[in-house]
Every structure is written in structure tokens, then in C-alpha cells.
């Protein structure tokens, strides 16, 4: 388990190194630099747009405050004519405060406007440089493509100029035949190896089956021999019979071999009676 963990750790390390090398190679490429520069330009344009919005807010605040100051001046004049000294003093005091704030707001607006003009000039310069960089990149790509195309065409022309078209086709045909022969040789080799493997497997199975059949046949033969031997033991005669049995057996054999004597019958009826008496 520890060995597997070490292998997984090593594999993860190798994959990480490959990814880092690929990223490093991509970061060093011109395309990556162009993409990164384009993204930074978009960020800068958004910041310039934010500055333009701030300038608009300062201008809006300045105009609203200017209207409010004029309104308070008018109200102070009306209060003074009406004899409302307190109201007139309050309005004039507020006018003075708002005039100071109005001056500060106008200063911020002028500063934001000046900063925006500078940023817009820088943005215009940035866009021009981007166009020049993009044009240069396209020119390099065109030059690279033209060089590769020229090299490719030189190779094609060289391949066609070393002989006639028929010679080229003949050479190509020979190459195709050689490749086809190699493929057939590889296929035959694979088929031969597969056939040999199959035959080896079949031979192993056959030998094993033969051994099993042989063992079963031997067991069956042994069983039959045992049965026959037991039957022989059951029906086997005694090796030595008694003397009386031997004499009786000999008499039976002699009686079978001796022909039967025919009696002369003079009077059949009398003979039949005698036979009946003998039977009784």
C-alpha cells in the first residue's frame, strides 16, 4: 500500500511538472503576450470610463450647488427687504458656506477633467501601440507562413524533379508494396503466434484429458477385476473332493457313456405287466 502511495505521489509530481512546463512555454509565446496585453488594455479602458463617470458626478454636484447658492442669495434679498434680519443673515451665512464648497467642488471637477484628458491621451497612445504590435505580429505570422510554405513547395518540387512522373509513381508503388508486405508479415507473425498459442493450449488440455481418461479406465479395470475375483471365490469348487463323491461322479460318467441294452420282447402284454410291477 505504501509503495502504491509513493507511485501515485511520484506520478502526480511528474504531471504537475509537465503542466508547469507547458504553461511556461505558453507564457513565453507571443500569442500569450498578445492576449495578456489585450486584457490589460480592457482593464485600463474600464478605469478611464470610471474616471469619466467621476467627472460627470463632479459636474452634476457643482451645478446643483450653484443653483442652490443663487436660490439662497435671492431668498436673503427678499428677507432683507421684508425686514427679516435673522432670516436674511441665515441665508447669507449659508450662501458663504456653500460658495466655499462650490469653489472646492469646482476645483475637484477641474482636476478630474484634467486627469481625464491625460488618461484619454494615454489611452489613445496605448491603442496606437497595440495596433502597431498587432500589425507586427501579423507580419511575423505571414513571414513564418510564407517560409514554411516555400520550404514545403521546395520539397514537393524536388520530389517531382528527380525523375519522371512514371518513375515517381513506380517508386511510390514500390513503397506501397513494401509497406503492404510488412503489414502482411506482421499479420502472419501474429497469426502464427496466436495459432501456436492455441495449439499449445489445446495440447495441454488434450494431455490432461488423456490422463484423466487413463486414470478412470484403470480404476474401472481394477473394479471389474475385483468383482470377477470375488465371483470366482464364491463359485469356486473345493480343491479336493471326498472319495465317495469322486466314485459317484465316475459312475455317472460311465453310465452316460454306456449304450442302453434292448430286451427281446416276445409277448408285449407280458412285458408291459412286468414293467408295471417293476415300477410299483
Residue 235 CA, chain-centre distance (Å), reads 79
Q: What is the pLDDT of residues 144-161, one digit of tens each?
A: 899 999 998 888 887 776
What is residue 171's predicted lDDT score, i.e. its pLDDT? 73
CB 88, CB 79: distance < 8 Å: yes
Q: Is the pLDDT of residue 55 over 80?
A: yes
Low-confidence winner among 109-113, 117-121, 180-184 (lowest mean pLDDT): 180-184
Task: Compute the mean pLDDT over every residue in the chain, rounded to the nearest whole number.
Answer: 76
Question: Helix 2-27 vs helix 30-81: angle between axes, to the nearest 10 degrees?
Answer: 70
Query: 25: which 3 cell numbers?
Result: 512555454
How far apart CA 8 and CA 14 sit, in angstroms, is 10
Average pLDDT over residues 239-256: 61
Per-residue pLDDT, 5: 65
pLDDT band at residue 141 using 50, 70 and 90 as cut-offs: confident
pTM surpassing 0.75?
Answer: no
* Grid coordinates given for 19: 503542466
CA-to-CA dists, residue 107 to 2, 47, 65, angstroms: 72, 21, 13
Q: What is the pLDDT of residue 1?
A: 55
Amino acid at each position: 500500500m505504501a509503495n502504491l502511495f509513493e507511485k501515485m505521489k511520484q506520478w502526480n509530481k511528474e504531471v504537475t511538472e509537465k503542466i508547469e512546463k507547458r504553461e511556461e512555454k505558453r507564457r513565453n509565446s507571443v500569442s500569450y503576450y498578445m492576449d495578456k496585453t489585450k486584457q490589460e488594455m480592457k482593464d485600463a479602458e474600464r478605469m478611464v470610463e470610471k474616471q469619466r463617470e467621476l467627472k460627470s458626478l463632479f459636474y452634476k454636484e457643482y451645478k446643483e450647488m450653484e443653483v442652490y447658492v443663487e436660490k439662497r442669495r435671492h431668498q436673503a434679498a427678499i428677507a432683507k427687504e421684508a425686514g427679516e434680519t435673522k432670516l436674511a443673515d441665515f441665508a447669507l451665512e449659508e450662501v458663504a458656506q456653500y460658495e466655499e464648497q462650490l469653489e472646492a467642488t469646482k476645483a475637484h471637477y477641474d482636476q478630474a477633467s484634467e486627469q481625464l484628458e491625460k488618461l484619454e491621451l494615454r489611452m489613445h497612445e496605448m491603442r496606437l501601440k497595440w495596433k502597431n504590435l498587432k500589425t507586427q505580429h501579423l507580419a511575423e505570422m505571414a513571414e513564418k507562413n510564407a517560409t514554411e510554405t516555400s520550404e514545403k513547395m521546395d520539397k514537393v518540387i524536388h520530389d517531382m524533379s528527380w525523375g519522371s512522373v512514371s518513375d515517381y509513381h513506380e517508386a511510390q508503388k514500390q513503397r506501397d508494396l513494401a509497406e503492404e508486405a510488412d503489414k502482411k508479415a506482421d499479420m502472419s507473425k501474429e497469426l502464427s503466434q496466436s495459432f501456436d498459442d492455441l495449439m499449445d493450449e489445446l495440447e495441454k488440455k488434450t494431455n490432461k484429458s488423456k490422463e484423466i481418461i487413463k486414470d478412470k479406465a484403470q480404476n474401472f479395470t481394477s473394479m471389474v477385476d475385483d468383482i470377477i475375483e470375488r465371483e470366482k471365490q464364491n463359485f469356486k469348487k473345493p480343491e479336493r473332493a471326498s472319495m465317495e463323491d469322486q466314485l459317484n461322479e465316475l459312475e455317472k460318467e460311465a453310465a452316460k457313456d454306456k449304450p442302453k441294452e434292448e430286451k427281446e420282447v416276445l409277448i408285449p402284454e407280458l412285458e408291459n405287466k412286468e414293467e408295471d410291477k417293476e415300477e410299483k
